[in-house]
């Protein structure tokens, strides 16, 4: 008697169609619904992936359409894996990944913990803190480029104020030692609010009664923090690390705006190098092999990480 959505849909189905569907099994109907999505997935994700794998075994160049590509076996893979410059790019990427994630988790969690305390202006501070992640990476890159300018940059003047150094005596973007840190600082400034929001969601999901029970058991604040807060926020933190890790592994725009990969190749992350190989040098086959290696690396690491995340959730 109740007019459910299913009943209404059944009534609205024309008789001819209804008769045809009647003859179909549940599995067949399910396939009909899922088929468009599967088709799109195959067309947009799987086919290009297979095509890329195929290209990675050739010397194909997308700018030399009048030249027949040759099958060269594993030569592209061998070249990439034995190229010391590419390993330097990998190192630069690893440095960037490790420090951005470490700093963002540390600062993001601290901010979330502070914001979670009820105080006047709480909402205003939350809004102010999340502003950087709302900006475009290109804008942030240009903005920080000026801040880092040794002669007029505010950043250098602030450092000079605290250290007594001459502001123009150090170059954040031009020094081999400082440039890798300069990109870490900017990414941390921009994306810490994202980690903070995830942590804040985690902190607010902890029911008050758990803390009340701990209070009754006369657990200290420190003990409550390590035995309640941290374990219950950990899955959220791990999720934030996963998101930031994947994002920063393919970091491109911000670093290109800031350093262009320089000085020298100090901040040339793998994604910047890959773009140069694929769309500036037009070594399409080589770049495909490079992309496959990166894909396998990210996919492998992400799979291991997701398993660990599930284990933490199960606890």
Partner 1 sequence: MKKMTSAAVGAALMTSVSVPTLAMADDLTLCWAAWDPANALVELSKEFEAQSGHTMNFEFIPWPNFADRMLNELNSGGKLCDLLIGDSQWIGGGAENGHYVKLNDFFDAEGISMDDFAPATVYAYSTWPKGTPNYYALPAMGDANGWFYRADWFADADIQAAYKEATGEDLREPQSQREMLQIAQFFQGREIDGKTVYGASIFTERGSEGITMGVTSALYPWGFKYENTPGSYDMEGAVNSAEAVEALEFYKEFYETATPPGYTNSYMGESLDAFKSGQVAMAMNWFAFFPGLYADPDTGGDKIDFFVNPPQNQAGSTLGGQGISVVAYSDKQDAALEYIKWFANPEVQAKWWELGGYSAHNAVLNDPGFKDSAPFAGDFLEAMNDVQDFWQEPTYAELLLAMQKRIHDYVVADQGTAQEALDKLIEDWTEVFEDEGKL
Q: Which residue's CB is nearer to partner 1, number 115 or number 256? A: 256
Residues that bind partner 1 (CB under 8 A): 59, 62-66, 85, 149-151, 168-169, 171, 173-174, 176, 256, 259-266, 276, 279-283
Backbone angles phi, psi at 172, to 5 degrees: -65, -40
Q: Which residue's CB is nearer to partner 1, number 153 or number 202? A: 153
Q: Which residue's CB is nearer to partner 1, number 195 or number 255? A: 255
d(CA 278, CA 283) in angstroms, rounded, equals 6
Closest distance of CB 264 from partner 1, Å:
3
CA distances, 136 to each of 153, 187, 292 (Å): 20, 12, 28
Q: Which residue's CB is nearer to partner 1, number 39 or number 279? A: 279
Which of 206-218 are b and which e, b meaning 16 or more Cβ less than 10 Å from the residue's Cβ?
eeeeeeeebeeee
Closest distance of CB 267 from partner 1, Å:
10
Q: Which residue's CB is nearer to partner 1, number 244 or number 283? A: 283
Closest distance of CB 178 from partner 1, Å:
11
Closest distance of CB 217 from partner 1, Å:
58
Closest distance of CB 124 from partner 1, Å:
36
Q: Which of 269, 247, 252, 257 is nearest to 140 (CA)?
A: 257
d(CA 169, CA 156) in angstroms, rounded, equals 9
d(CA 121, CA 115) in angstroms, rounded, equals 10
């Amino acid at each position: 008697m109740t007019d459910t959505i299913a009943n209404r849909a059944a009534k609205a189905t024309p008789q001819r169609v209804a008769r045809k569907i009647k003859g179909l099994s549940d599995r067949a109907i399910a396939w009909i619904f899922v088929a468009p999505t599967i088709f799109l997935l195959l067309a947009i994700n799987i086919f290009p992936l297979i095509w890329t794998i195929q290209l990675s075994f050739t010397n194909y160049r997308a700018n030399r359409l009048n030249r027949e590509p040759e099958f060269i076996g594993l030569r592209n893979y061998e070249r990439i894996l034995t190229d010391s410059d590419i390993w330097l790019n990998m190192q630069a990427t690893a440095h960037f990944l490790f420090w951005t994630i470490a700093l963002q988790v540390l600062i993001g969690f601290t901010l979330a913990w502070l914001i979670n305390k009820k105080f006047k202006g709480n909402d205003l501070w939350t809004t102010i803190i999340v502003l950087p992640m709302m900006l475009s990476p290109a804008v942030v890159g240009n903005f920080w480029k000026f801040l880092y300018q040794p002669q007029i940059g505010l950043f250098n003047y602030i450092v000079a104020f605290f250290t007594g150094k001459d502001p123009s005596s150090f170059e954040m973007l031009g020094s081999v030692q400082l440039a890798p840190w300069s990109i870490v600082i900017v990414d941390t400034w921009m994306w810490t609010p994202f980690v903070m929001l995830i942590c804040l969601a985690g902190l607010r999901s902890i029911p008050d009664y758990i803390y009340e029970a701990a209070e009754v058991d006369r657990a200290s604040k420190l003990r409550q923090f390590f035995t309640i807060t941290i374990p219950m926020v950990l899955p959220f933190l791990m999720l934030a690390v996963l998101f930031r890790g994947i994002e920063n592994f393919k970091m491109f725009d911000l670093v290109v705006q800031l350093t262009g990969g320089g000085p020298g190749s100090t901040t040339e992350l793998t994604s910047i190098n890959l773009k140069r190989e694929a769309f500036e040098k037009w070594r399409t086959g080589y770049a495909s092999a490079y992309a496959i290696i990166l894909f396998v690396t990210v996919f492998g690491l992400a799979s291991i990480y997701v398993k660990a995340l599930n284990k933490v959730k199960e606890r």
